[in-house]
Amino acid sequence: MARAKSARSGAGALARSASQLLHRAQQLALDIYAEELGPAAVTQRQFALLTAVAAYEGATQSDLVRVTGIDRSTLADMAARMIGKGLLARERSTSDARANAVRLTPAGRAALEDAAPKVARADARLLKLLGEASRRQGLVGLLRDLVMAGEALQAPPPAKAAKVAPPRRRTTAPSRPASKRANAAGRPSAR
């Protein structure tokens, strides 16, 4: 009986850990997502990438990292796999020749259109667990605030104007003739 009660209470410290609770909530969200979309569907991250590419057609991979929150190497790997599946196409950016722009293919658009209502159902199922609408809206707002605050911490600081150091003042006496400069051994300095 104690074991069941402990599991329900979340084992004390774990029940008070925001990161642990977010992790468990994410697991629940992924389980509901998988039930709604099925095993052959795009993953939650792939859906996020498809949605971002649809909203920002021709965005660079760096832009998509900022929009989705998916780290650079993971996004590059995902994009490569989704290109291989025919969901995305990559080409040189017209605004930056060093960057790759990503766009949806017709198959990618179809996958997004197929998944979107199922993802909406998964989100609704997850939030329905909270009961009243104000709590659901509150949770989404808090999560958005948390993400935005974290992104603000990770943003590079604004560029500061470079300070130009004033010219250095000479603090030593002017050079003396070599005959007057001698080291302790009495030899002329090699200056």
Cβ atoms of residues 122 and 79 within 8 Å: no
Nearest to 52 by CA among 144, 40, 44, 129: 44
Contacts of residue 75, Cβ cutoff 8 Å, sequence gap at least 6: 49, 61, 64, 65, 68
According to DSSP, residue 77 is labeled H
136-157 residue pLDDT tens? 888 888 888 988 888 888 776 6
Cβ atoms of residues 72 and 79 within 8 Å: no
14-31 residue pLDDT tens? 888 888 999 999 999 999
Distance CA 50, CA 88 (A): 8
Cβ atoms of residues 61 and 99 within 8 Å: yes
Asked if pLDDT for residue 128 goes beyond 70, the answer is: yes
3-state SS of 48-76 is HHHHHHHHCCCCEHHHHHHHHCCCHHHHH
Asked if pLDDT for residue 179 goes beyond 90, the answer is: no
pTM equals 0.70
pLDDT at 94: 80
pLDDT at 184: 47
Mean pLDDT of 63-71: 93
